[in-house]
Amino acid sequence: MEFVMESFALHAPGEARLVIKNHPLDAGLIDYRRVITGLEKKFALSGRIDYLESGDLDKLLSFARGVVTVNSTLGFLSVGMGCPTVTLSDPIYNLLGLTFQGPLDDFWQDDGKPEAELFRCFRNTVIHTTQVNGGFYSRAGIRMAVNNCRRLLEPERSPLDELL
């Protein structure tokens, strides 16, 4: 957060606001509101930072001018919604044409949007060659995941290999 907030303070337009949204699986061991308030003071960002414990991501992204993420499904969602996105790690969707490829300091002034057709092709490739429908949080989801793994585990060649 310090890295992002310092970059935002130094390089984002003066009227820009930074929304920091807590991860839904955060264990609550760190008081992020307190940490953010301290960093807000340190970087003279009073009135420009909003911290959200939760929220509707679709609605939030529909108003966002950009997204900074480490490695999250939020980044994949924001790219899919056509929102400029920069990652601070290297998730599978961190590709030229999908995410901002320069330094974070330059991202605040860039308005390049992800290429919709490239995202469509990428998403379809990922869904049909590497993803398994199911979940970890219910018996039905686990059963679905186990059953759907067969198509990836049983063939001699993976679905991704078939495309290559």
**Residue of higher predicted confidence among 98 and 163:** 98
Residue 134 predicted with pLDDT over 80? yes
Residue 163 predicted with pLDDT over 80? no
Residue-by-residue DSSP string for 76-135: HHHHHTT--EEESS--TT--BTTB--S-HHHHTT--PPPPHHHHHHHHHHHHHHT-----
Residue 164 predicted with pLDDT over 90? no
Residue 55 predicted with pLDDT over 90? no
pTM: 0.83
- For 59-70, write each residue's pLDDT tens digit: 999 999 999 999
Q: Can you tell me which residue has the tokens 């059953």?
A: 147
Residue 120: predicted pLDDT: 97
